[in-house]
């Protein structure tokens, strides 16, 4: 409410805020939230009612919280528990809304996919078992938003995908000239720690790997040139290349940043830094944002607050222009904006 009434937002005269705060409902709780602020310069904006199957004009400012099951203006779903059974009360899922602006209809899907529970398990195989779980969950969402219940429109999918670098390939590259020491638990013989040391140079420790420890001796590799050298190990999206498009990444890994307020650029030594936070889109949405109007193309895909501590993730944003009616061929202009 403070944000809605702030001076910075005074030109945004309509808003829709959706906060899943009903944490007592463990079978439905996702902890997701979507905030939509609409600028006064946008004259006709409509939002889709999934129950009535029609668009309704957006006026005023409305906030929905506690439970989102009662509003027909969105679809919310938590992933089945058997997707990630070791995390008993996972909060992963998605929230979907549909909008129509100047005859251009599209879905906005806020998503949270499953994390890596153990660095050691992630390191064992390439791709990791966790990568497979995320693949399954993302495929589930994409199938859901293009099923037969509603008209198909362009879509944007954004949030914490928890995409990780291929751990095995990264470690083998970062520690190519190192020797590995394996430390096991005395009682179970389970591997609890891997230590990679340089073969010479007084056997300097390069990397220590535990369930929740990824302590690499030189964090600059993740920051220099925005970590571009490591993008080749960012492979989880490749299986969806026929369904999803992403603009070129030109920002450093968005996770896991230190939560020390004086360490805005420092990564924590808990996980290998990775581009967890992304904005993806259907190929039809790609055409939507890359259309050039008056020889002007302004599309920005970047992160926010590179030097500012704001939690273990850095927010990522996509800024672009939409031309009126850009979402449909001239012969089939979307008719949403004539519906009451």
331 in a structural domain: no
Instruction: Quick: pLDDT tens for 180-214.
Output: 999 999 999 999 999 999 988 788 999 999 999 99
- Is 194 part of a structural domain of the chain? no
Q: How far apart are CA 173 and CA 185, in angstroms?
A: 27
For residue 111, tell me if it sits in a domain.
Answer: yes
The verdict on residue 55 lying in a domain is no
Q: What is the DSSP string of 225-273?
A: GGGGGGGGG--GGGGGTTT-B-PPP-S---B-B---TT-TTPBPTTS--
Q: What is the pLDDT of residue 333?
A: 42
pLDDT digits (tens, 9 = 90+) for 111-168: 999 999 999 999 999 999 999 999 999 999 999 999 999 999 999 999 999 999 999 9
Q: Is residue 201 part of a domain?
A: no
The answer for residues whose C-beta is within 8 angstroms of residue 247's C-beta and 6 or more apart is 279, 299, 301, 318
Tell me the per-residue pLDDT of 12-21, one tens digit each, with 9 for 90 and over: 999 999 999 9
Separation CA 312–CA 268 (nearest Å): 8
Q: Is the predicted pLDDT of residue 298 greater than 90, yes or no?
A: no
174 within domain boundaries: no
Q: Is residue 276 part of a domain?
A: yes
CATH of the domain at 259: 3.60.10.10
Cα end-to-end distance, the chain, whole Å = 29
Peptide bond into 297 cis (omega under 30): no
**pLDDT single digits (tens) 8-62:** 999 999 999 999 998 888 888 899 999 999 999 998 899 999 999 999 999 999 9
Tell me the per-residue pLDDT of 256-273, one tens digit each, with 9 for 90 and over: 999 999 999 999 999 999
Expressed as residue numbers, the domain containing 120 is 79-164+227-319
Sign of CA dihedral 68, 73, 78, 80: positive
> Is the full-model pTM beyond 0.85?
yes
Domain count, the chain: 1
**pLDDT for residue 334:** 46
Would 18 be classed as within a structural domain? no
């Amino acid at each position: 409410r403070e944000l809605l009434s702030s001076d910075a937002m005074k030109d945004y005269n309509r808003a829709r805020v959706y906060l899943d705060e009903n944490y007592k409902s463990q079978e439905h709780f996702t902890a997701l939230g979507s905030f939509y602020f609409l600028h006064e310069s946008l004259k006709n904006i409509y939002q889709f009612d999934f129950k009535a199957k029609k668009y309704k004009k957006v006026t005023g400012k409305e906030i929905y919280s506690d439970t989102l099951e009662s509003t027909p203006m969105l679809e919310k779903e938590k992933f089945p528990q058997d997707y990630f059974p070791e995390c008993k009360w996972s909060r992963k899922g998605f929230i979907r809304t549909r909008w129509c602006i100047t005859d251009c209809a599209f879905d906005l899907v806020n998503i949270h996919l499953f994390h890596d529970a153990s660095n050691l398990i992630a390191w064992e195989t390439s791709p990791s078992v966790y990568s497979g779980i995320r693949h399954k969950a993302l495929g589930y969402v994409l199938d859901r938003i293009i099923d037969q219940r509603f008209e198909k429109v362009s879509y944007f999918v954004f949030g914490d995908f928890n995409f990780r670098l291929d751990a095995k390939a990264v470690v083998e590259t970062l520690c190519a000239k190192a020797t590995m020491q394996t430390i096991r638990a005395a009682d179970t013989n389970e591997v609890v720690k891997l230590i990679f040391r340089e073969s010479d140079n007084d056997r300097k420790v390069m990397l220590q790997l535990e369930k929740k420890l990824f302590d690499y001796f030189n964090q600059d590799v993740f920051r220099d040139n925005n970590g571009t050298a490591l993008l080749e190990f960012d492979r989880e999206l490749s299986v969806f290349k026929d369904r999803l498009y992403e603009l070129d990444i030109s920002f450093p890994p968005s996770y896991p940043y230190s939560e020390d307020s004086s360490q805005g650029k420092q990564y924590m030594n808990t996980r290998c830094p990775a581009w967890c936070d992304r904005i993806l889109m259907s190929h039809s949405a790609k055409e939507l944002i890359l259309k050039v109007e008056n020889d002007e193309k302004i599309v920005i895909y970047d992160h926010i607050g590179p030097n500012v501590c704001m939690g273990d993730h850095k927010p990522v944003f996509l800024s672009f222009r939409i031309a009126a009616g850009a979402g449909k061929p001239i012969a089939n202009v979307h008719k949403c904006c004539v519906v009451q």
